[in-house]
Structure 1
């Protein structure tokens, strides 16, 4: 999860990341140690399914069909104050990087790395050093720099003609919604919470209005903007409504956003990357300042995610001129026990 600090009276996120980029020419933005050229098989994307920021990268990688070009290491849902760990792997060691925690890749490049050890992160496999954890730029580069390795039929998630609108939508969705739920959850005073609560639901009402007569946030196909909003919506009822006190209404009580979220959930790449068990485990077990007992609630009932959404009536083409991805690789499938809508083939079934 991207770094954040609890600061009285309100939550402020640490937004200083390693801004190196992996680019076609390897030049990146000129600020890093590179060069980091696009090269199939060279890099490993390290994620945690619990984390909404990492979940974005999982979704984009899957939609674009980059599984063979960029391998993926999956951390467990919980971590200590030090680092995310590879406790899902045999012996608690990532089989490609040979390390027990992602912090090792940070420290190998920056000894004593002073900032948050976050996911998603991309690691250079030959050297074992972290390349970047700049999660907003990371997914854009997967779309724009890795085109040579996209699957046949991959969507254009960041079309040139819509980039300015996508960027604008992403800015306020990040500020008001993606980060807005954290502003509520980690508010240190009543007044800070009240302001954050009002701000969040004002934004959600704005999204209800925006999506009433259009299927997707920008244009008539799925874009980066939809990916970024979805990962917050997928966690809303399971975590944010109760744990973060975002409790004016549940997602399933906001008819437009609920239908929009179900539309995406049943689209290959979205629901089949959503691990509700990991999501709940992370927030309720790690955030002991909010939930001191670490008890993970049994609810809520998540069976409604695969119900018909009716959004097809608005038109739109999820993948534009392309096609949906096939089943995820066997080793990357979300267990059915963690998401009741995922079948043995790794896909969501309605």
Structure 2
């Protein structure tokens, strides 16, 4: 079964997510507990990739396991085709939808990643991607690694929230509003809105190293996962082609700065990213042919943004290397 992604006019994202939260006090019935929950992601998905980055930056690998779905799926669900027997080794399921149906047998919305699953019951707890990363920063604080950064500092939360709001509307979701537009008018409206915001971000980042304050925050994580997909996918596949990221000097340097920061680039799987978009979106790319390019070598070139100051991890320190089982395979 092949899903249809292009809308009849302007693309509108369904933002009705499972709002249950995993909290330190367990007020929703799901207290933070080491080893109890499993974070299910796909490295192809920008929304899931936020959780992958945050989990790694905060050093939560030892208390929150991670299952990685394959890069492609059908209209039913993400699948665990990367694992032996095509089953998640902890949950024992072939499709993520099994965890959704275990809690909601009549669940009719999208089976999305990231998803937090209770390993005791096999039931999904939440797929509210925006709240998941904020809760990893705040509710899971007891289990952060020594030297973990504060990605959502209390004194900057209002500004971070403001930046996140416009970046989501115009950039994170804006590329989809361009790519899934079903009319010329809807596409051009989304296209203009996207590049107006990218110009705004370029102006903001020209004189400051990070989006809010002088350290990495949640705002940088959310922008990064879109920027890293821009040239491999959004520029061509989604027709966001006024410029490539590599042709926007400030944003290209900013993205390289983050990519070269431990916890960011070492979570990126360009192969999965390209295979997901070009294979799954058959109504945009009917042949399913995956482009051979672009050249990725530029991601490791000097960015020069140290000159702007800033301290990536504040008073903390970078995470160590990823574990062998979570290391992204080298891209040829």
Per the normalisation by structure 2, the TM-score is 0.98
State the Cα deviation string for residues 263-282 of structure 1 (Å, max 9, x = none): 00000000000000000000
- Check conservation: 2:59, 2:144, Cα contact below 8 A: yes
Quote how far apart the aligned CAs of 1:313 are.
0.2
Q: Which residue of 2 aligns with 1:211?
A: 205
Alignment gaps of 5+ in structure 2: none
State the Cα deviation string for residues 114-153 of structure 1 (Å, max 9, x = none): 0000000000001000000000000000000001100000
- Structure-1 separation of matches of 2:212 and 2:8: 36
Quote how far apart the aligned CAs of 1:6 are.
4.2
Aligned-partner SS, 1:12: coil
For 1:231-246, list aligned pairs within 5 A: 231-246=225-240
Q: Which residue of 2 aligns with 1:247?
A: 241
Q: Which residue of 2 aligns with 1:343?
A: none
- Check conservation: 1:40, 1:70, Cα contact below 8 A: yes
Q: Kindly tell me: are residues 4 and 14 of structure 1, through their superposed partners in 2, closer, same or farther at Cα, counting changes over 3 Å?
A: farther
Of 179, 186, 194, 2:180 maps to 186
For 1:271-282, list aligned pairs within 5 A: 271-282=265-276
Q: Kindly tell me: are residues 4 and 81 of structure 1, through their superposed partners in 2, closer, same or farther at Cα, counting changes over 3 Å?
A: closer
Aligned-partner SS, 1:123: strand
Q: Kindly tell me: are residues 192 and 7 of structure 1, through their superposed partners in 2, closer, same or farther at Cα, counting changes over 3 Å?
A: same
Q: Which residue of 2 aligns with 1:293?
A: 287
For 1:8-27, list aligned pairs within 5 A: 8-27=8-27
Q: Which residue of 2 aligns with 1:346?
A: none
- Structure-2 separation of matches of 1:130 and 1:88: 20
- Check conservation: 1:5, 1:12, Cα contact below 8 A: no
Higher relative contact order (CA 8 A, sep 6+): 2
Quote how far apart the aligned CAs of 1:4 are.
9.8
- Structure-2 separation of matches of 1:314 and 1:148: 32
- Structure-2 separation of matches of 1:7 and 1:307: 39
Quote how far apart the aligned CAs of 1:7 are.
3.0
- Structure-1 separation of matches of 2:239 and 2:296: 19
Q: Which residue of 2 aligns with 1:328?
A: 322
Quote how far apart the aligned CAs of 1:329 are.
1.1
- Structure-2 separation of matches of 1:17 and 1:6: 21
The answer to whether structure 1 residue 57 and structure 2 residue 51 are counterparts is: yes
Q: Which residue of 2 aligns with 1:164?
A: 158
Q: Which residue of 2 aligns with 1:268?
A: 262
- Check conservation: 1:63, 1:154, Cα contact below 8 A: yes
For 1:1-350, list aligned pairs within 5 A: 6-28=6-28, 35-337=29-331
Per the normalisation by structure 1, the TM-score is 0.93
- Check conservation: 1:10, 1:189, Cα contact below 8 A: yes
Aligned-partner SS, 1:297: coil
Quote how far apart the aligned CAs of 1:112 are.
2.5
How many residues were matched structurally? 330
- Structure-1 separation of matches of 2:11 and 2:295: 29
- Check conservation: 1:5, 1:13, Cα contact below 8 A: no
- Check conservation: 2:174, 2:194, Cα contact below 8 A: yes
